[in-house]
Homo-oligomer: A and B are copies of this chain.
C-alpha cells in the first residue's frame, strides 16, 4: 500500500510587520498510518483568523495559545474535512468533522484529545441543514464568540446603544446583527468605503462608520449623541480610546481582541481613568470560555440564517498555497466577513 501524502503550510520565520508570502513554505508531508484512536481527515475548508497573527511571533501573549513553531505544520487552526480512515468507533468514513490541525490537506487527528479549549477537539458535524464551512463561522467559534461577548460579557438588555468595531469582519458582522436582532440600536465601524457600503446595503446598518474617512470620536458624537451603553471591541488602540470617551456611566465593554495592535507594539488606552469616573466594566473573554453556550448559538443563529435574518459572508481563497495570501489580505483589512481557504 502506497503511503498518503498531502501538502502543508509551515512558517519559515516570524513576520516582521506585514504578513508576506516569504515567511511561509508549502511542503509535501507523508501522512502516517493512523494508530488506534486516530482518524485521518481530508480537509475541505481551513480557517483564517486574526488570532493567528498573535501566534506568528516569538512573544505570543501569556494565557493565549502558544506561538507556532518554525519549520513544522501549524497546529491549532480550525478546519473542516471528511473522514478518510477511522480507527475510533465514534467516527466513520465520510463523516464531516472539525478539528484543529489545519493549514494542510490531510490531517491525522487524535479523537479524544481536547484542542483549542474544546473548540477544536475532533467533532462530528450535522451538515443536513448547513453548509459545512458555517461551522467555521456562525455555527462555530465565530458565532460563539459574538454571542458570548454580547450576552455573557456585555449583558445586553435590549434598548442599548451598542457599537461593534470590525463590523465587516466575521465576528463583528455576527455580533452587530445579533445585537440588532435582539432589539438594540447598533453602530458599526470598518475601514473602507467598500466595507461601509456592504454594511449599509447588504446588512442594513444605517449607522455605519468608516474610521479612516473621519475620526471615530466625531462619528460617534453624531451617531450616538447620548453615548454608548456597550462597546464590542475587536480592534483595541484608538478604537478603544474613542469608546472610553463615548461610554455612558455604567457602560460595558466586551474585550474580544485588538487587531490594530497584533503587528505592532501595543500601547494602552491613555484615557482608562474614565473607567473609574464613569464606572465602566471592561471584560475580556474568549469563545472557548463559553462552550456551554454553543448549542444555543447553533439553534438561534442557525434559525436566523435559514430565515434570512442573519447575513453571512465569506471571502474564499482557493487552494492551500493561498493561505498566507488570505491571511495577509485579512490582516490588511481587504476581506469581508469570514476569510476561508477552500482546499
Q: Interface of A with B (CB < 8 Å)?
A: 61-64, 236, 240-241, 245, 249, 255-258, 261, 265-286, 289
Once A266-B271, A268-B268 are accepted as A-B contacts, the answer to whether A245 and B276 lie under 8 Å apart by CB is no
What is the minimal beta-carbon distance from A201 to any residue of chain B, in angstroms? Answer: 32
Contact present for B278 and A268 (CB under 8 Å): no
Q: CA–CA, A169 to B273, complex, Å?
A: 19
Contact present for B281 and A281 (CB under 8 Å): yes
9 contacts between A and B (CB under 8 A): A63-B249, A63-B274, A63-B277, A63-B278, A64-B276, A267-B268, A275-B283, A279-B285, A282-B283
Q: CA–CA, A268 to B270, complex, Å?
A: 4
A257 surroundings in chain B (CB, below 8 A): 273, 276
A268 surroundings in chain B (CB, below 8 A): 241, 267-272
Contact present for B272 and A279 (CB under 8 Å): no
Contact present for B286 and A273 (CB under 8 Å): no
Q: Which 9 residue pairs across A and B have the least CB separation, nearest first?
A: A268-B268, A275-B284, A64-B277, A63-B277, A63-B278, A268-B269, A276-B284, A282-B282, A281-B283
Contact present for B236 and A274 (CB under 8 Å): no
What is the minimal beta-carbon distance from A336 to any residue of chain B, in angstroms? Answer: 23
Contact present for B285 and A276 (CB under 8 Å): yes
Name the CB-closest residue of B to A280: B284
Once A61-B273, A62-B274 are accepted as A-B contacts, the answer to whether A281 and B284 lie under 8 Å apart by CB is yes
A285 surroundings in chain B (CB, below 8 A): 276, 279
What is the minimal beta-carbon distance from A72 to any residue of chain B, in angstroms? Answer: 23
The listed residue with most B CB atoms (<10 A of its CB), out of A270, A277, A281, A285, is A277
Contact present for B245 and A277 (CB under 8 Å): no
Q: CA–CA, A270 to B275, complex, Å?
A: 16
Q: CA–CA, A281 to B276, complex, Å?
A: 13
Q: CA–CA, A268 to B274, complex, Å?
A: 11
Name the CB-closest residue of B to A254: B276
What is the minimal beta-carbon distance from A127 to any residue of chain B, in angstroms? Answer: 31
A273 surroundings in chain B (CB, below 8 A): 61, 236, 257-258, 261, 266
A280 surroundings in chain B (CB, below 8 A): 283-284
Q: CA–CA, A255 to B270, complex, Å?
A: 15
Q: CA–CA, A275 to B267, complex, Å?
A: 14
A236 surroundings in chain B (CB, below 8 A): 272-273
What is the minimal beta-carbon distance from A81 to any residue of chain B, in angstroms? Answer: 28
What is the minimal beta-carbon distance from A314 to any residue of chain B, in angstroms? Answer: 25
Q: CA–CA, A282 to B285, complex, Å?
A: 12
Contact present for A282 and B275 (CB under 8 Å): yes
Name the CB-closest residue of B to A249: B63
Q: CA–CA, A240 to B126, complex, Å?
A: 46
Q: CA–CA, A140 to B66, complex, Å?
A: 48
